[in-house]
Structure 1
Amino acid sequence: IGADIEYLKNEGCPPLKIRGKRLQGGEVYVSGSVSSQFISALMMVAPTMENGLIINIRDEIISKPYISLTAKLMEEYGIHLKWEGNRIKIKPQSYKPVSFKVESDWSAASYWYEMVALCPDAEITLLGLKENSYQGDANLVNLFKDLGVSTEFVSNGVVIRKAGKPIKKFFHNFIYEPDLAQTFAATCCFLHVPFIFSGVQSLRIKETDRIEALKTELKKLGFVLRETDSEMLEWDGERCFVEENAVMDTYDDHRMAMSLSSAAILFKSLTMNDPHVVSKSYPNFWDDLRKAGFRIEEV
């Protein structure tokens, strides 16, 4: 599509040098089975290309709601696009400035749902979340019903409460909500709810190999997780010895840190390495936990 890219060392790998210019556009073929972020990036820059862009998506599309989110927000800013099947067509056009209120993040909300699920009489209000959200992770409202958490939508957000007992076994395909998988793995283990997750193959190419990270860290807390194939993760209830004074590693991954933090509800104390990784998506996370009554200190 006309980019001027120079590889400074090895072909196809950083470091690289990019010379700015208007891209020609045209037609590209992209696998949808690796990450939706490649597709979203091409979509957002496509209107500025001289000839626009046609994106043909090959293979199964994972994280599809994130592509839908990109499309809907582009439309909010005046961009017209055509998405039919696995083909997205975007003509040359200009973004229009509009007044827009940014919604709160449903992915970040999942960690508070996790805490409510683990506490007998919890009630928490989360501001800025919408009932008719564009975010795919808003589906956690339905998923957490099975783990005993109710959601009430109010004018400025949601009120979440512990409202019942969890189901006996949890099944879900996370192909469309991969960023929720760590939260639900931890929640199910801490509630002693066996689970089978499918559609988790993209977790291996996130900030870390999240499958291996979950298996390693939850084993420190006494839970033995297994992979049944490249797309599935499960816990059948098997327990192991709990490490005394276990120290959680975060793998430079914000979601590992936040999904494991609620273990402090069940264990006397929890030590976590590199807690500042949360700054990637939720820099005030530890401060908000303090407001909720957690005692947190740096060591």
Structure 2
Amino acid sequence: MNLQLDDLDLFLRVAALGSLSAVARERNLAVSQVSRALSRLEASCGRQLVQRSTHGLRLTDEGHALRELAPRMVDLRDELQASLGEGGGVAGWVRVSASGALLQGLIAPSLPELQARHPALRLDLFTDDRLADLVRDNLDLAIRTGPPVGEHLLVRRLGWLSRSLYATPAYLAQAGTPDTLDALREHRLIVSNSVPQMNRWALAEGHGEGHFEADGPLRVDSSAGALALVLAGLGVARVLDRVAAPWVARGALQRVPVAALCGVPLAVHAVMRAERLRLPKVRACLDHWANLLAGG
């Protein structure tokens, strides 16, 4: 069996995106090049890996089996190139998972400088408030807030953010402005329906070690969705201060002055498989985001 790892890499993207044309657009290739790579891989394996039909692409049983094993082979290639100093330094794709709030408040604003510094760097971004499966989803990094999780994963603290309660001026004018936890319970709170732990709101320093158990008439599955509901004047939600700042400056949002829930510090961690830290492209992203957080 004579497998070409570049073909294997393209196969993984076909499996993830479900479309040859989508992979071609992502990698700036002709569709015919992606198709030939897939055909070469099938010929090397002696098996059909993908069933093609008018309804799209579907992995065969053999394709699913290869999808489980292939990331390890591609990872080993990348690690070998890094250890030998090959690959031209910081270059290639980095697959990153983050919540919508972190994408908006940290990652997206950082990209112009990051990619200007490393023009050959490419980022594949996935937004989800839940912790992704790094192996199953073939991810290099997950950027997360809160306590780190994962027994067999490497965790690096990048820095700190803070979050507070926000609502629109119109909502507060109509419903009143709460300034205590008891008063807050009478308001329309926007909470998570996908990550129950996110509804246990940590208290600011000096206000005890417990949590405020948030509940309300509106639930949403993402931090980006919560922000949209707040901006629509539908209630009060916890928002990263860095995300809320532009909306506050425009007068669209207002901080809700419940001192126990204002400016609560939140650790930001990068979670990864240990071997990924050896890759220059991964270290470049981590260092850039850590420096950004250190600078406030």
- TM-score, normalization by structure 1: 0.27
Which of structures 1 and 2 has the bigger CA Rg?
2
Indicate the structure with greater helix content: 2
TM-score normalised by the chain length of structure 2 = 0.27
